[in-house]
Copies of this chain bind each other. A is one copy, B any other.
């Protein structure tokens, strides 16, 4: 059989694509390097030319997700028409759009991420996302502090507080999706709405912004998300 020649970049991306899919489908603990190379059609020797281990593959999956997330956020910093509050609202708006667009996959993603055999996967991804998001959020707050549109005396510390506030929301969204799937869409939507409301309040208050200046959620979001 003739070996198909592919450039190293293409191969690397192919391996990351495949690993990401298998990790989410079958769980990180349950996926082996052999599963990945069988799927991609590569020899073990060739695989180790690209990645030293399954852990290295996990790092690459997490790093690529972080890079993609940063690519989506970066234009916000460059838009001169926005102040810091506008940038935060634009971030929340784009994350809402993404959540509604991806709701069907998101259910599977959450189901996978919150499995016990995926604790390591979940936290590597979370760490990688935090590593790129923290400097980004710090820069938004630093500029906001400078222009006086919000109050964050230590921008980096406050940025971490905001990222931590966000952590609970993923679990609540997962719980709401499970409840909705079990048939109770109304009360799942009410629960999620109330949580998003509290999250928004906590963000506003932490930055000493007037009530109503941050729109983490919008009317109908929870229902649209759960019905998608």
Q: Given A120-B119, A206-B205, A208-B205, A198 and B157 touching (CB < 8 A)?
A: yes
| A51 interface hit (Cβ, 8 Å) | no
Q: Chain A: interface residue count, which band? A: 20 to 34
Spot the interface stretch: A4-12, A60-68, A77-85, A159-167.
A159-167
Report how far A205 CA is from B209 CA in the complex, Å.
10
A168 to B172, CA, bound (A): 19
- Across-interface contacts of A167 in B (CB, < 8 A): 164, 167
Contact assessment for A195 and B164 in the assembled complex, using a CB-CB cutoff below 8 Å: no
Name which residue of chain B comes closest to A209, CB basis.
Answer: B205
A119 to B55, CA, bound (A): 13
Q: Give A166 to B119 CA distance when docked, in angstroms.
A: 20
Cβ-neighbour of A157 out of B153, B160, B195, B206 (below 8 A):
B195
Given A164-B165, A164-B167, A164-B168; A158-B123 close (CB under 8 Å):
no
A72 proximal to B (CB < 8 A): no
Least distance between A113 CB and chain B CB atoms (Å): 12
Residues A161 and B120 in contact, CB atoms below 8 Å apart: no
Which listed residue (B123, B194, B202) contacts A206, Cβ 8 A? Answer: B202
